[in-house]
A = this chain, B = another copy of it.
Amino acid sequence: MTSERLIEITRPDDPRIAEFRDIRERDLTGRESRFIAEGTVVLRLLAGAHEAGGDFVAEKVLLLKNRVAGLADIIDSFAADVPIYAAEAEVLDGIVGFHLHRGVLALGRRTEEGGMNAFLDQLAEQALVLVGCGISNHDNMGSMFRNAAAFGADAVLLDESCCDPLYRKALRVSVGSILTVPYRRQLSGVELLAALAERGFAIWSLSPRGAVDLRDIPTSERMALVVGTEGDGLPPSILAAFSSVRIPQAPGLDSLNVATASGIALFEMAARNGRI
């Protein structure tokens, strides 16, 4: 079956694979919600995303020819109308603009994103969410989703000033968790937290100068952990309006990076929230 649906690409300028050209220089996000997925793990998640009722569909796949045999089961699980292209290493490198070691690429699309309020309305009574405000670093974005997945968070909520999680590097660092953990990126940080507070969420903003020690936060049915940028942290307007939490650390030191800090705080909150 696999070999029948393969479409061979022999020239880097073939228009059928134009979206994969020079991918290092381009960022597809923001253009009709399309994104580049890389690697076997993410390819497998994307193949199953539509059936799982998720927010993503695959549009096309581009593989190094000698990877095809080992990926037969994944290839077969893509819907029949998703074209599977294959190219020799020389052609593939000419398409993407560098040596693509892994040889596994796909073009995906996020299906229509509903509004934040409707999304929040359907969260379960017992819920744990991770909120990002002003996260602009793609590594940190990817790590936040990975941590959210590891600790069973129900959703990641991003304010409108955050970078797009569908950027190639964020998706790779997340090991595909961006395709599995439901998320929205809408509203300002303050609007977002107000919407959560209205719905009974205990809101804990993470800060090195947070008022409450992480080990002392009370258990509640609905919990939201809020993290800000690594440089400036959360804006004073947010820290003043909601409860703040700190990770106790040795004195006199730079704070942890936001990826690690969100992991530690989510671990503690997931334990209190019955997630782990």
Contacts and interface: CB of A to CB of B under 8 A. Distances in A.
Interface of A: 41, 143, 146-147, 149-152, 175, 215, 247-250, 253-257, 259-261, 263-264, 267, 271, 275-276
Contact of A248 (B254, B255, B271): B271
A248 to B, nearest CB: 4
B249 A276 contact: yes
A173 to B, nearest CB: 8
A261 B249 CA distance: 16
A263 B20 CA distance: 37
A43 to B, nearest CB: 14
As for how many copies of this chain the complex holds, the number is 2
Contacts of A257: 143, 146
Contact of A256 (B146, B215, B256, B275): B146
Contact of A250 (B149, B175, B247, B259): B149
Contacts of A253: 149-150
14 contacts: A41-B254, A143-B260, A146-B256, A146-B260, A149-B250, A150-B249, A150-B256, A152-B249, A248-B271, A250-B276, A259-B260, A260-B260, A260-B263, A264-B267
Contact of A150 (B143, B150, B175, B250): B250
> 3 closest A-B pairs (Cβ-Cβ)?
A152-B250, A260-B263, A248-B276
B250 A151 contact: yes
Given A41-B254, A143-B257, A250-B276, 14 more contacts: A143-B260, A146-B254, A147-B260, A149-B254, A150-B247, A150-B256, A152-B250, A215-B271, A248-B276, A250-B275, A256-B263, A259-B260, A260-B260, A261-B263
